[in-house]
Amino acid sequence: MKTVYKEHAKVFKAFCDEKRLRILDLLCGGEKCACILLEQLDLGQSGLSYHMKILVESGIVESRQEGKWTHYKISEKGSDYAIALLKELTTPNTIIEDNNCCK
């Protein structure tokens, strides 16, 4: 599989879980500390870490460390990339290819 497809799949994986969608919804209100996310979600520390790893690896969420806590926010660059990727993958190709199929 091409590396580019693996990178694309990371973006879509971030969106294909309802807990991650809930996390993204919470982060739309601005940067949140992991302690706040834990209070708002029905997740333990390890569950939150798992989902945040996927979101951060996708590029959609950024993280920063402050003391023992990690703070998360939506990445503007990652968000723009996800939007452009979805548009690219769902826009029909206007070039008509004659591949002699089913004629």
Q: Please, what is the average pLDDT of the chain?
A: 91
On the CB side of 16, CA atoms within 13 Å amount to: 8
Provide the domain count of the chain. 1
For residue 37, being part of any structural domain is answered with: yes
pLDDT tens, residue by residue, 46-84:
999 999 999 999 999 999 999 999 999 999 999 999 999
CATH number of the domain within which 20 lies: 1.10.10.10
For residue 13, being part of any structural domain is answered with: yes
For residue 41, being part of any structural domain is answered with: yes
- What pLDDT was estimated at residue 99? 65
For residue 100, being part of any structural domain is answered with: no
List the single range of 3-17, 19-33, 51-65, 71-85 with lowest mean pLDDT. 3-17
Q: What residue numbers bound the domain in which 65 lies?
A: 3-90
Lay out the sheet containing 61-66: strands in order across: 32-33, 69-74, 61-66
